[in-house]
A and B are shown apart, each in its own frame.
Chain A
Amino acid sequence: MITTDICIIGAGPVGLFAVFEAGLLKMRCHLVDALSQVGGQLSEIYPQKPIYDIPGFPSIQAQQLIDNLMEQIAPFKPGFTLSERVDSVNKLEGGGFVVQTHDDTIIQCKVIVIAGGLGCFEPRKPVIIGLEAFEGKGISYFVKNPEIFRNRRVVLSGGGDSALDWAIFLAPITSELTLVHRGETFRGAPDSADKVVEMAHNGQIRLLLESQITEVAGNGHLQSLTISTKNNGVINLEADHLIPLFGLTPKLGPIADWGLALNKSAIEVNVDDYSTSTPGIFAIGDINSYTGKLKLILSGFHEAALMAQSAFKYVYPEQKLSFKYTTVNGVNAF
């Protein structure tokens, strides 16, 4: 079990900056994020794009902002649990909370800060009859351990970079690799697309273009797929694994079940300190909702600062908070 002062759910820019504001007040933080890297949508969706409205930076690349934030919070030695989605939040008698992830990591904390942006990033699922029945039984949306596909019949579905890259990587280790793509050409990186076409030409990849998987079947485990093709009509393909690769999309997910007051898909907060309807739980950044809310990173930074002032009373109930400037006191590392 991990013990900390503040558990921050969401490691996007606002969650990261909350570590800094908490650290100035001597509160330790642990961050949890469903993605495998920190940075939220900045790192996941537009890492190379410039951002123009961060005070003091006329222009900064999204990933650079995340890298800078990581450097800024390093003195406060935050903990990280990545690739795990928080499933439950439970109040402890006598104060504090227990946070549990889908992978059973348990974090005990005095305060929870939800900085979940638009929610958890989850894989986009194609509409295929029988899909959900075989999730974890031959159907997966990520390649965590390529070795499980060794000498197996694997079908990839999708036409983006990730489908191309995994096709190139997995073809040599699988017994049979099929790539099913709706389009007639690939729009991913030209080098990868050329390589896939060349491997298909050499018989290393079976390429089904202008095709769509419509149904999956099996007996406890995936065994076959029905594919609608342009040239050969409907075909049946035997396979051990199917990996649909259509990127990630944010979903509010379990946050909706934590008993917090919501407004559409956002958490209602008190603008005095961005506290939620549950004492000890705060919500900052794009996930919260209040009159006049602007979904801007800079608004989230401001919310993090006010949140930390209020969170202090839960972490140090016996102490009186006195506001200090970093220009006077510097940043005192843990």
Chain B
Amino acid sequence: MIQLTVIDRQGQTNELQLVEDEDVNLMETLKNHDYEMRATCGGLALCADCHCLILKGQEQLAEPQDDELMTLESRPDAQNNSRLACQLRVNQGLQGILLQLTNYSN
């Protein structure tokens, strides 16, 4: 079981317990847990709707690929700890992380 903490788009903090599954990405998983997730591109790392900030545990995550980094360029509010949830697999890398979903508007 993977336990992580998510701050949603309204600023509410919740603990989330997930079953490890390399075949699904965190964006889809958050959507299935009723987190607001527009996902314009459906998980292709193209729209940045699932932009999130990793407030704790960034070093545990797999390095972002070029597609993800390029799309993050289009977010004017991207930070050094920005990631796209659709590019993160539900695996042990997420164990104990603190993640904040950002607003769509930026």
> Which A residues are within 8 Å of any B CB, using their own CB?
41, 45-46, 49, 118, 124-127, 157-160, 182-183, 187-188, 244, 246-247, 249-250
Contact = CB atoms under 8 A, between A and B. Distances in A.
A126 B76 contact: yes
Contacts of A126: 76-77, 106
Contact of A188 (B44, B49, B70, B105): B70
B38 A183 contact: no
Interface size class of chain B, counting residues whose CB lies under 8 Å from the partner chain: 20 to 34
A14 to B, nearest CB: 15
A187 B106 contact: no
A38 to B, nearest CB: 17
B76 A249 contact: no
A124 B106 contact: yes
A120 to B, nearest CB: 12
Interface of B: 38, 40-41, 44, 46-49, 66, 69-70, 73-78, 104-106
A49 to B, nearest CB: 6
A41 B41 CA distance: 8
A158 B75 CA distance: 9
B74 A127 contact: no
Given A124-B106, A187-B66, A249-B104, A46 B41 contact: yes
Given A182-B78, A249-B47, A249-B104, A41 B40 contact: yes
A86 B6 CA distance: 37
| Max chain A Cβ within 10 angstroms of own Cβ: one of B69, B70, B73 | B73
Contact of A45 (B46, B70, B78, B106): B46
A209 to B, nearest CB: 12
A247 B70 CA distance: 12
Given A160-B70, A187-B66, 9 more contacts: A41-B41, A45-B41, A49-B44, A159-B73, A183-B73, A187-B70, A246-B75, A249-B105, A250-B40
A246 B51 CA distance: 14
10 contacts: A45-B41, A126-B76, A127-B76, A160-B74, A182-B78, A187-B69, A187-B73, A188-B73, A246-B75, A249-B40
B40 A118 contact: yes
Contacts of B69: 187
A86 B52 CA distance: 32
Contacts of B46: 45-46, 49
B82 to A, nearest CB: 10
B66 A246 contact: no
Closest 3 CB pairs of A and B: A126-B76, A247-B74, A159-B73
Given A118-B40, A124-B106, A45 B76 contact: no
B104 to A, nearest CB: 6
Nearest to A187: B70
B70 A244 contact: no
A249 B46 CA distance: 11
Contacts of B105: 125, 249
Contact of B76 (A118, A187, A246): A246
A192 to B, nearest CB: 12
A125 B106 CA distance: 6
Contacts of A250: 38, 40
Contacts of A249: 40, 47-49, 104-105
Nearest to A264: B36
A17 to B, nearest CB: 19
